[in-house]
Structure 1
Amino acid sequence: MTYSIADRVVRPPRTARSGAADRSAGDGRWVPFLVFLLPMGVALACVLPGIGHRQLWRDEHDTWWASSIRYADLGLLIQHVDVVVAPFYALMHAWTALAGTSPAALRLPQGLAMAVSAGLLGLLGRQLFTPRTGLVAGLLFALVPTVTRYGHEARPYAFAVLFSLLATLLLLRALERPTLKGWALYTSAITLTGLSHLVALCVVAVHAVAVLRARRGGDHVAHWAFGCAVVMGTSAVVPMIAKGSEQAGRIAWHNATVRDLTTYPMELFGTWFSGAVVMGLGVVGLLTAGRKAVVVPAVWAVLPPVLAFLTSDLFHLFQPRYLLFTVPAWLLLAAAGAVRCADALLAGRTGRLRRVAGGVLVTGAVAGFAFQVLPALATARQDLPGEPDFAAAGRIVTVGQRPGDGIVYNGDFGVRKAMAYELRESARPKDVLMKLTPQQTGWYAADECDVPADCLVGRRRLWLVSTAAGSTRSGMSASTGAALAGRFTVVHTKRLHNLTVQLLERRNR
């Protein structure tokens, strides 16, 4: 008897199918909807409240700036910096044209991405383990403080989580029931993963492990389909990778140390409690759940941070927010460990009573976790502690300005860009020292006057916004400081969190 390759793709050998898939075959039709919708609903309840309350911080100001300038100016910007997040900027450019640029509008796509990720994690847990494990994993994901933290951030990390989850789920389903459509969807998901954040492409190495196991199980086609999918899926991001390697100097300040490794669990999950619980249960799941089921989440949880740490001196990528896409893997292991613990406690019981009691135990554990992390969820909605209070500075300038006022800036934290955001909806004072705009320079920063005294001619009042520690003019160029000191006097000073606003008036001659 002979059969074609197409027949083999449609009907793979029985041994290539996962045991978890067989166990889930008897689920009622409502089960997939439950394991998707319930975690997504809880995630929405955790992430959406207060999504616009926290001030934007410096990286989010970059997102606003890049999504507000013309596409031509955006093209010039990514020639110099941030080409690796250019797809995200293009997406946000289109989004802000429809939704506006308020903090809530800028963050809503990320909040929704986190909510959908919770549902996808539920489905992935069902695929790898059981529906109950998937449901627990999705619920725990919704409650992790960093899910709310980065669901409240106008940066691409939530999309990296979303698309890495989607790619993994599509791969497992393509291995279970191979079709051309299934592999095409997986290829698209790989592309989206790379476009969301290059580091998230580490998940492809995890997928290779799953494909290798399928081949050992008798599927002799999967590795060819997988190879084609990876080549086609990553081809769209190769130019971005090449250009991004030239711009790596922007994050070269971060060289990982042993201290970064020791604080990694807390920073990845948001608190020491959540990190200890998730990783502790994850180890239990790793040791007690079926070996075939835990291989994918185990490699997913460990391989990317290990690679990032070992290569940190070269690529500088060991930062927890870059590795946020590994959180679902830990939660899969933790959920498997929690379910195993519940089953062990009820080992003497059988039948429906055992299932009900096990459900009560697991539900109680999730509720206890939720109770413990509630304060951290509230903290995730607050202003970042080290960031200046630019919102208050914007209100001061907006209320106190007069026609003809000018404004000057000093310090770090992208003060000019941040104040441009806070004053975006008002007729803000003229930036008197700016010679070339950021659009003209192709950076986030502007070029200032060569002779500051000449640029201050004709100004009666100036606002000085400074993030410098100590004196408001610390770190200012000598020529700018001399021009201000010789021609203006301070008439009002307002000190805010990590920020000072001064009103200067020209001296009478």
Structure 2
Amino acid sequence: MSVAERGPAVARTVSPPVSARRPSPSPARAVVVIAPFSLTIALGLWGIRRQNTLWGDESVTYQLAHRDLAQIWHTAQHVDLVHALYYALMHEIFGLFGGGLLTLRLPSVLAMSVAASGVGLLGLRLAGPRAGLLAGLVFALLPQVQKYAQEGRSYAMVCALVTWATYALVAAVPHRARWRWAVYGSAMLLACLLHEFAVLALVAHGVTLAVSRVPRPVLTAWTATAAGVVAGLLPLAIRSAGQSGQVSWISGPVRLRYFLVVAVVGVVCARAPLATRGPVRLSALAVPILVLPGLLLLIASLAKPLFVDRYVLYGNIGIALLLGAWLDHFRRLWRSSRTAWIAAAAVLAALVPPSLALRTPQSRSNDVTAIGAAVREEGRPGDGLLYLPGRQRILTAANSQDTRLLTDLALAQDPVASNTLAGVELPAQVIAARMLEFDRIVVVRAAGAHSSTDPQEEAKTSTLRRHFHEYETTHVNGARVTIYLRDHDPSPKAGPASDSPGAHLGAMK
């Protein structure tokens, strides 16, 4: 037999190993990426406008992102420094695509969809393609994920960055290539710069590596990378510490029940014999990132209340991985039974009511659109306007038409000119005197707002109490709008003329 005749036979014997070296899970990988991404996009677009309403924090994003970059920077020196990078990013997005409601929320939808794909790939790498697919789909369906995928705030972006940083960490453990650690560190630093509490995920990653007993060089590489992230975050953390009053509204844990429930469910799932592969076990990764960030915030709250569920939104990575792996385990146990399908249908049915509720204006703590509309409807041209307290001016700032015909009695300098969120108010005596020039005053109070000992706030409340009476109140989501009418008849509650700096002015009217 000639060499030429033997050639094809040799080629046939060599070709199978060549094809075997190709990554066999590539179709599965594509499904694990595309299916969770598509589902999250679909859920994110469903009811994204929430009947064209905004809530207070989104209104802040909307207002600040419409200022130029210099104004954003100057404002951040007074307030909201921790969100300055996000506002700057949204400013650029508004410049490219317009500053409407969809543009405000679509970046969060896209970010959460990218996070869902990352969760799927994490599950695939740690426990196989079925567990990965289920984890990605579970992540998309979680109520908290659906909620913050539709909000114009930084939390979805932080969640996406932490997800992909976690994937980079898992990929770096067996390979130890420097560029992988550079990717991990860059993603974590960017997440921390978008929101400082993302640094708690760094602690969870350290615990994961410790319990996984990875080789010492891996721990050394992670320690160096983590130190770089902390060093990059430190200037922001030091500067923003002076703005701690921004979280003074937190009087106790906010929406703690969700965290406790998913933490317990996650720990229970972790006790099952979940499929795992590679040096990092799925439960060793998922449980710390689910439990530790929230637990650390709760411990810190013993000194100063700091726990808010959205601050540790990325903890949903852990519960999604655990539920996905547990569902895969459950499917293997009940391969020939309808039980698995019945259980899946029951879970989906249970998710329908909260999914519907999340797309209503009432799903948020306030509705600045409704508050502004109430001010516009209740006020008459020429009426006075007061905010109790003054920082609640942001509740009507999204649409200037709502207050265009009213006179803001306490405002000395508007928010844009003063590089603040709510503007600068006049001295207490001047506010009281201006109030007495009006027969009708529209007062906006935030729901649950406490009386302030600030002189300006005391001047507002005392002047209302002594010289006005409540005529009509409209309750809206997150606030109440009250019409006050001036008392012209002498009465004991008005007090002597000397009680108020503007009393003589009131007597002359």
Normalised TM-score (structure 2): 0.77
Is this contact kept in 2: 1:35–1:131, CA < 8 A? yes
Question: Which shows bigger deviation, 477-486 or 98-107?
Answer: 477-486
After TM superposition, list the pairs within 5 Å mapping 1:423-502 onto structure 2: 423=400, 427=404, 429-439=406-416, 440=418, 442=420, 444-450=422-428, 451-452=430-431, 455=434, 463-467=442-446, 477=457, 479-480=459-460, 494-497=474-477, 498-502=479-483
1:325 paired with 2:328, answer no
User: What displacement does 1:234 show?
Assistant: 3.6
Q: 1:164 aligns with which of 162, 165, 181?
A: 162
- What residue number does 1:135 align with? 133
Give the direction of change, closer, same or farther, for the CA distance of 1:39–1:436 in structure 2 (3 Å limit): same
After TM superposition, list the pairs within 5 Å mapping 1:177-326 onto structure 2: 177-212=175-210, 216-217=214-215, 221-252=217-248, 254=250, 264=256, 266-268=257-259, 280-284=268-272, 292-314=281-303, 316-326=305-315
User: What displacement does 1:384 show?
Assistant: 3.9
Question: Which shows bigger deviation, 314-323 or 458-467?
Answer: 458-467
Give the direction of change, closer, same or farther, for the CA distance of 1:410–1:215 in structure 2 (3 Å limit): closer
Give the direction of change, closer, same or farther, for the CA distance of 1:157–1:282 in structure 2 (3 Å limit): farther
1:379 paired with 2:368, answer no
The count of corresponding residues between Structure 1 and Structure 2 is 463
Is this contact kept in 1: 2:55–2:368, CA < 8 A? no
After TM superposition, list the pairs within 5 Å mapping 1:16-35 onto structure 2: 27-35=24-32
Is this contact kept in 2: 1:488–1:506, CA < 8 A? yes
Question: Which shows bigger deviation, 128-137 or 54-63?
Answer: 54-63
Task: Supply the distance in 2 between the matched residues of 1:206 and 1:277 (Cα, whole angstroms).
Answer: 18
Partner-residue secondary structure (3-state), 2:49? coil
Partner-residue secondary structure (3-state), 1:435? strand
Partner-residue secondary structure (3-state), 1:500? strand
Is this contact kept in 1: 2:471–2:482, CA < 8 A? no
- What residue number does 1:18 align with? none
1:49 paired with 2:26, answer no
Task: Supply the distance in 1 between the matched residues of 2:350 and 2:387 (Cα, whole angstroms).
Answer: 42
Is this contact kept in 2: 1:285–1:338, CA < 8 A? no
Paired AA for residue 434 in structure 1: L
Partner-residue secondary structure (3-state), 1:93? helix
Question: Which shows bigger deviation, 90-99 or 191-200?
Answer: 90-99
Is this contact kept in 1: 2:411–2:423, CA < 8 A? no
C-alpha offsets along residues 179-218 of structure 1, whole Å, 9 cap, x if unaligned?
343232222112112112222222223333455577745x
1:337 paired with 2:326, answer yes
Give the direction of change, closer, same or farther, for the CA distance of 1:427–1:32 in structure 2 (3 Å limit): same
C-alpha offsets along residues 124-169 of structure 1, whole Å, 9 cap, x if unaligned?
1001111100111111111111111111222222122111111010
1:419 paired with 2:410, answer no
- What residue number does 2:372 align with? 394
CA RMSD of aligned residues (A): 4.0
Task: Supply the distance in 1 between the matched residues of 2:434 and 2:119 (Cα, whole angstroms).
Answer: 57
Give the direction of change, closer, same or farther, for the CA distance of 1:112–1:25 in structure 2 (3 Å limit): same
Partner-residue secondary structure (3-state), 1:239? helix
Task: Supply the distance in 1 between the matched residues of 2:458 and 2:482 (Cα, whole angstroms).
Answer: 20
Paired AA for residue 299 in structure 2: L
Task: Supply the distance in 1 between the matched residues of 2:171 and 2:443 (Cα, whole angstroms).
Answer: 59
Is this contact kept in 2: 1:121–1:137, CA < 8 A? yes
Task: Supply the distance in 1 between the matched residues of 2:132 and 2:210 (Cα, whole angstroms).
Answer: 24
Give the direction of change, closer, same or farther, for the CA distance of 1:44–1:368 in structure 2 (3 Å limit): farther
Give the direction of change, closer, same or farther, for the CA distance of 1:412–1:386 in structure 2 (3 Å limit): farther
- What residue number does 2:174 align with? 176
Partner-residue secondary structure (3-state), 2:311? coil
Give the direction of change, closer, same or farther, for the CA distance of 1:469–1:80 in structure 2 (3 Å limit): closer
Paired AA for residue 163 in structure 1: L
Paired AA for residue 74 in structure 2: L
User: What displacement does 1:178 show?
Assistant: 3.7
User: What displacement does 1:224 show?
Assistant: 4.0
1:37 paired with 2:34, answer yes
Stretches of structure 2 that go unaligned for 5 or more consecutive residues are: 1-20, 489-507
Give the direction of change, closer, same or farther, for the CA distance of 1:478–1:146 in structure 2 (3 Å limit): closer
Stretches of structure 1 that go unaligned for 5 or more consecutive residues are: 1-23, 347-356
Task: Supply the distance in 1 between the matched residues of 2:379 and 2:150 (Cα, whole angstroms).
Answer: 32
After TM superposition, list the pairs within 5 Å mapping 1:63-212 onto structure 2: 63-212=61-210
Paired AA for residue 369 in structure 1: V
Looking at CA atoms only, which structure, 1 or 2, has the larger radius of gyration?
Answer: 2
User: What displacement does 1:454 show?
Assistant: 5.1
User: What displacement does 1:62 show?
Assistant: 2.7
